[in-house]
Structure 1
Amino acid sequence: MAQLPQVVLRMLLAVFAALLAVGSAVEAHGDHNMDGSAGVLPDDAGFYHWPEEPMRWALKVHLALCFIAHVLVFPVALIMDIANNRFHPLVQLGGALIAFLGMVFGWVNGHLHNTYARFGWFMLSLLAVQTAANLCIVLSVLKKSPALSLLYRALGVLQLVFTYMGMVLGVVRYLNLCSQGHLGQCISHFVRGSVLIAASVALLLFLRLFGAAMLGVKRPPELYASIVMMTVGLIGTFTEHNFFQSSSDDSWSHKDLQHTLIGVSWFAGGALGVLMTWRSHPRERTPIPSIIFIATGVSMIIHQQDLAMSSRAHFLFGASLVCLGLANICEITLMGSGIVKDTDEAQGIQYLSVFFMCASGMALMGANRDMILFLINAKIDIATYGLILMSFCFVVIFYFYVLIDLYFALAGPPEARYASLEEALEEGPALDGQRDSTSSQASTLNHDSGNKYLSADPLSV
């Protein structure tokens, strides 16, 4: 039985390899040019290329300082604040000085009339408010008001979210993406891909903080996934074909039908998942979200585009979703059967869901039309592009894994939710003098043997 998780991992790898083989076979039957296009490229294809003007020194310094402040210093200050470390105000002030200096070099570089520069003014305003709140707390101006401390911590979290948005806008601005009439399609890809990446980060956080069964979240993780799916599906149902602006002569294309029906399936499946789990114990898992992921992934694998490169990018997205669904089903099966024990530490197989969810988000963001045209002009094939996206995915998971480890180093490991069998028996009531017969008692405890939170109420964890 101990070898079963390895067998499951091999099965997942075999399925992923089979999907890649199928995708290669399908592409082999098409008439594709060496530039990755199927037929004539659109008239605006030449617009998407590497900028002819080299990056100026001021912009390089601006990017380096902003990276140090917003990606390295501010998240560390946030973790130190959550861990109640007394040095976090100094770290935040140091990051604020570096960020302000980076803004100065951004002004020196010029080009202040674009979306990225305007967003920079918003970031500067947010930083000023956060720094002012920090000074008020340090100097005890408001006598350590709980509301002020909550505001300061909330601004730290928002700083992390808006840093990600600023990075995306910087890439969009530098590569001239989301233009030439493709703004809506570009926003759709970036927003939905970002939701999947954020969900992978949240899942990683839950696994590290609440253990294998995630008892601390009070409900099965599929409940929260189903709520997000239901919301995204409802929005997609009424926005993919301009539902509120359609006219009598407005025809439906196959893409409109497919995307709208994906929204309907996500809403219906999400509603079913919510109904099945909204009053369930965290261990009462459901495969409904996994089935939705697999069905959506299959539709994306066979989803045909007018450009072969776009079809291949959607294949990467679909394959990641299929692997995500299969990984979730394997996790539910192994955790529910007791083969994988409930412990304070997440099990290795559970990190598969984190990776494939992040990979699907990266692939969806990278499958927008403007990026596809840029790849064609830059002569970057799909294999290289897939490796780039996978590398970004590993970097994201590594980054947040390190931040969580930093929190554990500063605040200590989370409170243990499980005990060994011997400790559970010692704390439990005497069993008529038969405390030594642990074998018969172990059979009654099953895979919950180490859980000292078992009670009549399944939600009192």
Structure 2
Amino acid sequence: MTTTFRAWTSLGVAASCLLVTVAAHEHHEDKIEEGHAVSADPIDSILWVHILMQTLAWGILFPTGMVLGMIRSRWHVPVQTTGSVLAVIGYLLGHKHKGRQFTHNIHAAFAPTLMLSLVLQVAMGVYLKLHLEKGIHARIRRIVVLCHGVIGKMMPVATWVQMVFGGITAMGYCRGDHLGQCLAHFIMGSAFIGYGIIMTILLLVGQIWLKRSGRSQEFFDSLVIAAWGCVNTFTEHRWGQAWVHNDLQHTSMGIIWWCAGLLGVWLSRKRNGRPKRNIIPGMIILITGYGMSAHPQNLPLSTMVHTLFGYTLMGAGITRIIEVAFVLKDGNATTQDGSDPNSFQYLPPFLLYASGFLFMGATEEQMQLLSDAGVTHVSYVFILYSIAFLLFLFVNMLLHLYAVSTWDETSKSDPEAPRTNGLANGHARATDHRRVRDAEEFELAGLMSDDEEPETPVAAKGRHEG
């Protein structure tokens, strides 16, 4: 009880400090000119430290800690604890900076919600570490395990949103007449990146899940495309007002999405009901890239960036079609579990990453700023592609960390070694089977009482023999 009291007391003090900080903080706006969202002052060192610490904590440590928790690594708690400390320090620094001033903004408004989710995660983590499993705690623990896992997996998405809000706020973008096109660029660009991440996950660790679902990947892709097309059809034009060129192009793009999405859903099954691959999602990506490459712009720099964005998206669609039709030949993967994809299969998801960053970086205000500074489209595109490479690397590293710790990796045996009974070197790796079992039992860990421990294979064998 003493340990429990101390743990909850610490959490209460931390939460109170955060709430007091929010309540006591005042936004200074005396240097902001009329009609502007930020002052002309530079970003000071304290704010730069805030940005770096929050990027390290939320962008690197927390996603890594999430994967470490999924594989039940002993490093899960240290990594998440370090990230939490850095996040709190960075949060406090964000309220103590000088230099550039900001009006009321979405980044500051969303920060308390994100920090509250962190406090809840820490509280649930402490509760789980106390291993209270008797009586009513058995039911409470089951709920806490579920909530801890769901919130933990949602935090990377919330973190991405907050980072986008931070960049917008730092520059004073996306206000007034610029809000609509700004939302379109950041939402659709983020969607392309998210689609690329999902494709990477399914490519490297998701083939077994796809088999269990009884659906092909194109079923889910086409379903989302159809839903997204319906939304675009009725939101890209302000009904009751005159049609303009961009409204017609965006609305027609929404129409072709839901039409093609419905076709892709239909073609995702064979006559016997089994899943079937198809190229409809790849075609939609290709057509969308073509439309974006021909989108009219006001600035020459913006025209070139949008053109390269369209070409990159077209490349993602073309390579996706080639992958499904010619590399895999309508198969699910090059190997049974998808653990060894063809090198060409990495190209479609990466091009989606790159196209997403290109579109997010092509808003009107960004293009005007770069054009005034004399930045060429080649240099800018290289920078955005570099960021795409880094994110693709980080996602692959996290998936590698997950895969090598949970999969049966008998493939790591020497392929040239003699085989006995179908196994390299004449034996299987028991540790790999244990990792698979641990991964399957991850969400149930600690839910059973001491009298309900799962029996070992040896005990089960003895019971059957008896």
TM-score under structure 2 length normalisation: 0.73
Pairwise CA RMSD? 2.8
Return the alpha-carbon distance in structure 1 between the equivalents of residues 78 and 37 of structure 2.
43
Q: Which residue of 1 aligns with 2:183?
A: 187
Return the alpha-carbon distance in structure 2 between the equivalents of residues 349 and 301 of structure 1.
24
Within the candidate set 94, 97, 121, 2:85 is matched to: 97
Identify the range of structure 1 (76-85 vs 364-373) with the bigger mean alpha-carbon deviation.
364-373
Contact 1:63 1:102 in 2 (8 A): yes
CA-to-aligned-CA distance 1:213-249 (integer Å, 9 cap, x gap)? 9645532211111111111111111111113xx1xxx
- TM-aligned CA distance change 1:408 to 1:286, over 3 Å: closer
- TM-aligned CA distance change 1:94 to 1:301, over 3 Å: closer
Contact 1:137 1:149 in 2 (8 A): yes
- TM-aligned CA distance change 1:369 to 1:385, over 3 Å: same
Q: Which has the higher contact order (CA 8 A, sep 6+)?
A: 1
Q: Determine whether 1:226 maps to 2:222.
A: yes
Q: Which residue of 2 aligns with 1:24?
A: none
How far did residue 48 of structure 1 move? 10
Contact 1:210 1:217 in 2 (8 A): no
Q: Which residue of 1 aligns with 2:317?
A: 325
Q: Determine whether 1:120 maps to 2:115.
A: no
Q: Determine whether 1:350 maps to 2:338.
A: no
How far did residue 175 of structure 1 move? 1.6
Return the alpha-carbon distance in structure 1 between the equivalents of residues 389 and 36 of structure 2.
27
- TM-aligned CA distance change 1:222 to 1:119, over 3 Å: same
Q: Which residue of 2 aligns with 1:84?
A: 72
Identify the range of structure 1 (227-236 vs 250-259) with the bigger mean alpha-carbon deviation.
250-259
Runs of 4+ in 1 over 6 A off after TM superposition: 47-51
Q: Determine whether 1:169 maps to 2:158.
A: no
Contact 2:289 2:314 in 1 (8 A): yes
Return the alpha-carbon distance in structure 2 between the equivalents of residues 277 and 162 of structure 1.
32
Q: Which residue of 2 aligns with 1:288?
A: 280
- TM-aligned CA distance change 1:213 to 1:87, over 3 Å: closer
Contact 2:218 2:264 in 1 (8 A): yes
Return the alpha-carbon distance in structure 1 between the equivalents of residues 207 and 384 of structure 2.
28
CA-to-aligned-CA distance 1:148-172 (integer Å, 9 cap, x gap)? 0111111211221111111111111
Unaligned runs of 5+ in 1: 1-46, 421-425, 428-461
CA-to-aligned-CA distance 1:57-99 (integer Å, 9 cap, x gap)? 2112212221221122211211111112244233322221221
- TM-aligned CA distance change 1:367 to 1:212, over 3 Å: farther
Residue type at the aligned position of 2:225:
M
How far did residue 398 of structure 1 move? 0.5
Q: Which residue of 2 aligns with 1:203?
A: 199
Contact 1:119 1:166 in 2 (8 A): yes
CA-to-aligned-CA distance 1:310-357 (integer Å, 9 cap, x gap)? 22222122101211111011111221178x943531111111111111
Q: Which residue of 2 aligns with 1:269?
A: 260
2:341 partner SS: coil
Return the alpha-carbon distance in structure 1 between the equivalents of residues 44 and 148 of structure 2.
35
1:349 partner SS: helix
Return the alpha-carbon distance in structure 2 between the equivalents of residues 214 and 206 of structure 1.
8
Contact 1:51 1:175 in 2 (8 A): no
Report the number of matched residues: 367
Q: Determine whether 1:365 maps to 2:356.
A: no
Return the alpha-carbon distance in structure 1 between the equivalents of residues 286 and 75 of structure 2.
47
How far did residue 201 of structure 1 move? 0.5
How far did residue 386 of structure 1 move? 1.0
Identify the range of structure 1 (362-371 vs 49-58) with the bigger mean alpha-carbon deviation.
49-58
Unaligned runs of 5+ in 2: 1-34, 416-420, 423-466
Q: Which residue of 2 aligns with 1:61?
A: 49
Contact 2:67 2:402 in 1 (8 A): yes
Q: Which residue of 1 aligns with 2:15?
A: none
Contact 1:236 1:259 in 2 (8 A): yes
Contact 2:71 2:402 in 1 (8 A): yes
Within the candidate set 386, 391, 406, 1:411 is matched to: 406
Return the alpha-carbon distance in structure 2 between the equivalents of residues 391 and 102 of structure 1.
26
Identify the range of structure 1 (228-237 vs 138-147) with the bigger mean alpha-carbon deviation.
138-147
